[in-house]
Amino acid sequence: MHSIGYLQQSVHGDHCANEITNSQPQLLIRGCNLLSPHAQTRLLYNQDILVAGTRIQAVGPSGTLDCNPFRIERIISGEGLIAMAGLVNAHTHSLENMLKATSPSLPLELWLVPLFVDTVKWSPRFVYLSALLGAIEMLKTGTTAVLDHLWTVAGVDPEYLNATMQAYNDVGIRAAVAPAIEDQDLVLEAGIRRGLAFPSHPFIDRFAHWPAIDAQVRALEQFIATWHNADDGRLRCLVGPSGIHWCSPALLQSCLELSERYQTGIHLHAVETELQAAIIHEMLGQGGIAYLDKMGVLKRGTSLAHAIWLDQGDLELLAGSATTVVHNPISNLRLGSGRFPLAEAFNHGVSVALGSDGSASNDTQNMFGVLKLTGLVHNQPDKDYKKWPHPDEILDAATHGGARALDMAAELGDIAPGKLADFVLLDMNAAPFLPLRDPYLHLVYCENGGSVNTVVVNGKVVVEQGLVTTVDEQEIHQEIRHYCATHGFNPAESIDITPNTNEVLTLLDRLRRHILENGDV
């Protein structure tokens, strides 16, 4: 069979071959059942995966691989396990792992306000723990790589950035961190234009407490110079302008220059809500995607979170530029942002990845929930059912699409020779696979992450028997509980902690109604 023939190829002659040397430790997964993209054979039974160093060296029927048993450091039995490429969570914000269940569902512009109210006393250690908490949840539920659009309550703060990357370094997940940077808020400016007087509030005044934008750009550059491609390339830095309406053209230009200087990607929010899209039109005189195109931001290696409120011609711009859109269906529903036109994006050949978004708008980091909702929310009666997303397309977005968002399409997303060894073994005897039919349907509609048995990232086993091997999860939970108990975190305090919060929410709601419904301002 053609597919097995391909899988049996070794990496000799491949561009990666010179990176795999005889001295690298080898890991053998023996007799697993490999998820296959072919319609007739959804699983290739009884396969071996040979890993050398950070990469997969060979894959094929059990017992047939050309390997020296004396060089194999470890053998893991794959009996009863399904092997699939690791999921990529292509959009989240790790600080929000401590902000899950912070507010009831609200429109994005209102939901943001209480997040800046300081119920949590942030410290570099707490930021570290926050990144760890989410990374552990992701690894245990089959996510091997994350794109963290890291916003903090202090702008680009080197201590918080380093603490976050240290967490990813320690826990063993593949991480691309894009520190969010911003210098304006066109939503507030649109309100001020209309005579709204926003009261003093941590969200309204946030820029006043942050270092000057030049200092933040320098901190961002220092961060990239320190961490980009650390630990054999497992840790990467991206440039993360916060969003179209949160960044001045000058800041966007600085971000572009940084990404070109360090040959790294760009990640930003784009036209997430109808209000944002309307205000971008009003203030910039054009749609957000057309504006990004004019600025030179749309290109391979750029990924846009959400991109829901698109104009005519935007899908062509996105497809033509090889820009990836990260679809976040749970967050989009939680904040009532709208529905990304997934079928139309697929139709136009747009690169689509999937993301959880931060836990303040999801409220978990489990990508299996994202897969399932992607497989449900687009099944609308006004759409031709043949355009409803197929499980293969959903898993492709969660693996290959995520790889494209990280600009690692040549290296991630497949269990095949020469690829980076990022994969997951799931227990096919667990209830979600019983009785087993099409594994793609099981993975999208039945699995919840609980069947994940083993996770390998960059050639290292980081989850075994469902438990993270790199850090002590129970100790981390205990430290978080202790920190909250001793640092003024009061679970009873929520949205009304600052007297001005309600006033800001009322004003923003009036602005929304004025712009979207022609209401009074």
Query: Which DSSP letter does residue 501 get?
Result: H
Q: Looking at 31-39, 204-212, 355-363, 365-373, which segment touches Zn ion (CB under 5 A)?
A: 355-363
Q: How many residues can be counted in the chain?
A: 521
Q: Which is nearer to Zn ion, 357 or 427 (CB)?
A: 357
Q: Phi first, then psi: give them for residue 468, nearest 5 degrees.
A: -70, 135
Q: Which is nearer to Zn ion, 84 or 304 (CB)?
A: 304
Give the nearest distance from C-beta 231 to Zn ion in angstroms.
26
> Whose structure tokens read 């269906």?
329
Q: Which is nearer to Zn ion, 183 or 357 (CB)?
A: 357
CB within 8 A of 447, min separation 6: which ones? 368, 426, 432, 433
Give the nearest distance from C-beta 203 to Zn ion in angstroms.
16
Give the nearest distance from C-beta 436 to Zn ion in angstroms.
36
Q: Looking at 111-119, 352-360, 474-482, 506-514, which segment touches Zn ion (CB under 5 A)?
A: 352-360
Distance of alpha carbon 37 from the chain centroid: 23
CA separation for the pair 407, 324 (Å, rounded): 9
Q: Looking at 124-132, 350-358, 396-404, 451-459, which segment touches Zn ion (CB under 5 A)?
A: 350-358
- Residue nearest Zn ion, Cβ-based: 357
Q: Which is nearer to Zn ion, 185 or 357 (CB)?
A: 357
Give the nearest distance from C-beta 335 to Zn ion in angstroms.
10
Cβ atoms of 345 and 314 closer than 8 Å: no
One character per residue 356-385, x = contact with Zn ion (rule: CB under 5 A): -x----------------------------
Q: Looking at 236-244, 279-287, 354-362, 448-456, which segment touches Zn ion (CB under 5 A)?
A: 354-362
CA separation for the pair 436, 420 (Å, rounded): 29
Tell which positions 110-169 bind Zn ion, by CB under 5 A: none
User: What DSSP assignment string belongs to 351-388?
Assistant: EEEE----GGGSS---HHHHHHHHHHHT--TTS-GGGS
CA separation for the pair 175, 61 (Å, rounded): 32
Query: How is residue 268 written in tokens?
Result: 């930003």
Q: Which is nearer to Zn ion, 305 or 345 (CB)?
A: 305
Give the nearest distance from C-beta 322 to Zn ion in angstroms.
22
Q: Looking at 25-33, 274-282, 287-295, 349-357, which segment touches Zn ion (CB under 5 A)?
A: 349-357
CA separation for the pair 137, 230 (Å, rounded): 23
Give the nearest distance from C-beta 92 to Zn ion in angstroms.
7
Cβ atoms of 196 and 507 closer than 8 Å: yes
Q: Looking at 24-32, 171-179, 353-361, 379-387, which segment touches Zn ion (CB under 5 A)?
A: 353-361
Give the nearest distance from C-beta 243 to Zn ion in angstroms.
8
CB within 8 A of 475, min separation 6: which ones? none
Query: How is residue 68 written in tokens?
Result: 């020296």
Give the nearest distance from C-beta 136 to Zn ion in angstroms.
20
Kindly list the residues in this chain that would bind Zn ion in the complex (CB under 5 A). 357
